[in-house]
Structure 1
Amino acid sequence: MPPRETPDSPRRRIVEAAVELLEQGGAAAVSTRAVAAAAGVQPPAIYRHFGDKEGLLEAVAEYGYARFLESKRAQLKPAPEDPVEELRRGWDSVVEFGISRPELFEVMNRASGRGADMAHRAGLEILHRRVRRLAAGGWLRVDEELAAQIIQATGRGAVIAWCSTPAERRDPALLSILRESMVAAVTRTEPTLSATESGPAPAARALRAALLDVSGEAVPLSDAEQRLLREWLDRLAADGSAPTG
């Protein structure tokens, strides 16, 4: 990630000018000449800070992730009592960001540079913490990794569907229906931690999530024992089969 910048630093001005041009006219509007003029710098300054236009767009993606992560982290304090409602709010925040800033959202999803990748991973960690809370409470219907993929795919798909539909044909019901379909796909109508009611998978997911949430606390197992327990829990959470060997 780049070093911390002051609000009036040339690099920050260039990035913010690029974001403004992007959201006004799409990626085609982000030319080095236009960005330099909007930021009040000479074109060589862009190459000095970013290398080329793709480097500038990577910095724009990092900027977008930073703004988005600020809002996501704010939602985590304090953590809501209802993890299913937290899931809804988190999904809504992604979709609202995407449909309100579609050009920036597209650049963020296309970015592949190290800084954008680190920011993307930070966002994924917030998502996985939410999924672990669902699992720990007995709410999760599917494995954690699959749940995270479903949440991501439906959120991104909702943004794409909304933005590709002419404004006069957009129906807000689409977003609420997609959200509730996602919730139904990954969560149960009632939490269960009972292995006798629906097999060992829900209990295994809950125990695995609980163990992940004790980072920094003493766990009375060796590293080898923890790895073995994780392997068993992963197997049980995936298909309910008992460990062998």
Structure 2
Amino acid sequence: MTKEILIQQITAQTAKDPNQDHLLERAESIIDNLSTSIHWKNGKSIPEIIWNHRSKENKEYDWQNLSFKETELETVITDYLKFPQIHCQELDWLIMDILIYKDCLNALDTIRVRTMPHSRYQSKKSGNSTFRILAELWRFGLFILKILAWIIIFSFTTIPPYSLNTIFLHLPITPILWIVITLGWLGKKWIDYRKNNNYLKVLFNTYDILKNSLFSWSEIQELLKRSQKFGMMWNNLIYQLVKARV
């Protein structure tokens, strides 16, 4: 979506308004501020293009490189809601697309912070392949040290003679408990993974409806309600805009 397209649309619909000059000035300010609230870490943004709908293939790249000035963004959209004369389908779409995608990326980031080891999160977020390889090697080294530590512990908690053979021949309680706890931990990790994966799938499917600027407001309202059942609370401005349009 370009600034030129938006200004043309707003100019046409305010043609008979005696305050057109003021409204166009407000619209241009809102559009400019929307654009500056979007930040690409690698400077990817193109001045003429404010925003394009993001595909699922963009998700990883955007998570690593895209951020939003949230306070500025919310201030701009609140200002937009005060001027119904400049409301149009294209600008509505732009705002909804940005807000919903921002919330999707925030949810993705929150889940990864909570579920990933810090070193893996940092390396994945950086997008630096060398950093990622070093982080994985570090984690593998720690894993080997943990295994060695458990072997040493087991060797001193089995019945005499204290050897690895007795661990498997007599199956003492300590390694059995360790195996049970490990399997339980892995099971919980799998359940959490499935739950988080389904949650994110619902969020990004909600966003996907905006791939066409002529989207259905009633349909997006239903998708927002569905995602709420999974525990998602969207930005309040999204609900305000949907309520005003349905």
Q: Same fold (TM over 0.5)?
A: no
TM range (shorter): 0.3 to 0.5
**Structure-2-length-normalised TM-score:** 0.34
Q: Which has the higher contact order (CA 8 A, sep 6+)?
A: 2
**Structure-1-length-normalised TM-score:** 0.34
Whichever of the two has the greater Rg, that structure is 2
